[in-house]
Amino acid sequence: MTELELKKLRDYRLRTGNAATKKYEKTKKGFLVRCYRNMKSRINGVQKAKFHLYEGKYLMDKLDFYNYSLNNKAFNKLFDIWEKSNYDTKLTPSLDRVNSEIGYKLDNVEWVTHSENSRRGSINRHNKLF
């Protein structure tokens, strides 16, 4: 994509408030695309604030992640509940790393709600202090 094309796309998204992207990200596939992109940006250090927590960690293959998630009973149930709640943030499906030292491996992740994942993270941080 040329610089001019990118500028046109950015301008369009600015004018429309990114409506098309926001709508797409409320589909299962769009949600998973965003989720994987976020996981990758943590591992690669794009999200600098918490890079120290993810540096050198494993990141599963994108297609493996999509297949795992789309065929995962918990993900599908959580996504349906989130959708029916009119996208309540607390109910957003969230991929939890069971052992945060390992990274995003298929046998080390599980789908939970955003609030449950936050709760687990808070408990883990608290336990590391003592």
Per-residue model confidence as pLDDT tens digits over 14-70: 888 878 888 889 999 999 999 999 999 999 999 888 888 899 999 999 999 999 999
Per DSSP bridges, beta strands 93-97 and 109-113 are antiparallel
Q: How confident is the model at residue 83 (pLDDT cuts 50, 70, 90)?
A: very high
Against a cut of 0.75, is the pTM above it?
Answer: yes
